Amino acid sequence: MPTIPNSYRKGTCLLLLVLFLSCLISATRAYDSPAHDRGGIDSLSWGDWQNYKLAIIRKRDTLKGLFEDNERMLITAFHRGSVDRASVINAYLLGHRITILNTILENFRLLETSSQTYALQFIDSTRASQTVYDFRHDRIVFCIAKWDTGNFIHESTHGVQFEKGGIVFPKYIDQSTRFSDTTNIGIGDDYDDEIAAYAAEFAYDPASVAGFPSATQKVRSFEDISVKWLLGLTTSKGTELYGFGAGIAMTPVTVESTIKALQDAYPLSPRWASYTGQGQPLKSKKNYLYKTYRP
């Protein structure tokens, strides 16, 4: 049987070693890099991202089992002529939660395949979570408490809202939206956006949302997550989170909103007063990061 010459073997081994080291260096650089050039989920956040997704899938599957058990009991009760109204309401709530969790998981694909990069940053559980734009590294960062899947769902929902044109970020240091020296919070976060984010969080863990301190009402169902409830939410120090002047848009805002609509949405903000062309949409202005969604 013919054999491979030793010189060829040595050359091949050397080539393979060089290729291996090259791949190792490239992988290390990609891991150390603050963001993927291709967008999607930052490499340093990918492991935690997958863990959160798995937690949501497990919760969804558990709820499916409960829904099926509840449905069987309802059918049996119906044939016996003794359907309990509370059981019907419970079945509706379970079905609603399952539907929203499925939507959350579908929306994750929008973030994972986006041209925009997303990252996770873990903060102390006593601090309020936030979605910010890191303009130094061109990435949107979800600042959340670690191991709090509901918190992750809430902030990533704002990421989906950005993807669909509901939230816009200044690309530069901006005092009115400044979160840190290199990050800004978004423009366009309105009451509808927050209600959607809390509803998504409620679908995963109703008890956590029900436990938020609100001076106006308690949350026992999706219908209770309303503007009235939002206006009563406070921080641990008693500061209103979404009261008038807290920075939330008073009316729905998107990248298509005109400057006049933005003036109405932010009546206390001097930002929009200096803009000309009140009929022009926000997306026509320079130095803003935004997306226009096309399903």
First to last CA, the chain: 61
Q: Which of 138-142, 213-217, 250-254, 279-283 has the highest mean pLDDT?
A: 138-142
Is the model's pLDDT at 28 over the cut of 50? no
Is residue 187 domain-resident?
Answer: yes
Q: Using one digit for the tens of pLDDT, what is the confidence trace for 60-70?
A: 999 999 999 99
Q: Using one digit for the tens of pLDDT, what is the confidence trace for 141-155?
A: 999 999 899 999 999
Is residue 5 domain-resident?
Answer: no
What's this model's pTM, rounded to 2 decimal places?
0.84
Q: Are 195 and 248 in contact (CB under 8 A)?
A: no
Is residue 26 domain-resident?
Answer: no
Locate 252 and state its tokens.
């729905």
Is residue 141 domain-resident?
Answer: yes
> What count of Cα atoms within 13 Å lies in the side-chain half-sphere of residue 33?
19
Locate 217 and state its tokens.
């009402």
Q: Using one digit for the tens of pLDDT, what is the confidence trace for 154-171?
A: 999 999 999 999 999 988
Whole-angstrom distance, CA of residue 232 vs CA of residue 94: 27
Domain count, the chain: 1
Q: Which domain holds residue 240?
A: 46-288
Lowest mean pLDDT among 173-182, 213-222, 262-271: 173-182
Is residue 37 domain-resident?
Answer: no
Is residue 30 domain-resident?
Answer: no
Q: Are 71 and 64 in contact (CB under 8 A)?
A: no
pLDDT for residue 14 = 40
Is residue 264 domain-resident?
Answer: yes
Is residue 14 domain-resident?
Answer: no
The CA-atom distances, in angstroms, between 20 and each of 13, 15, 17, 26, 27 are: 10, 9, 5, 10, 11
pLDDT for residue 273 = 76
pLDDT for residue 25 = 35
Q: Average pLDDT, stretch 101-114?
A: 97
Q: If pLDDT is split at 50, 70 and 90, which confidence band does 99 have?
A: very high
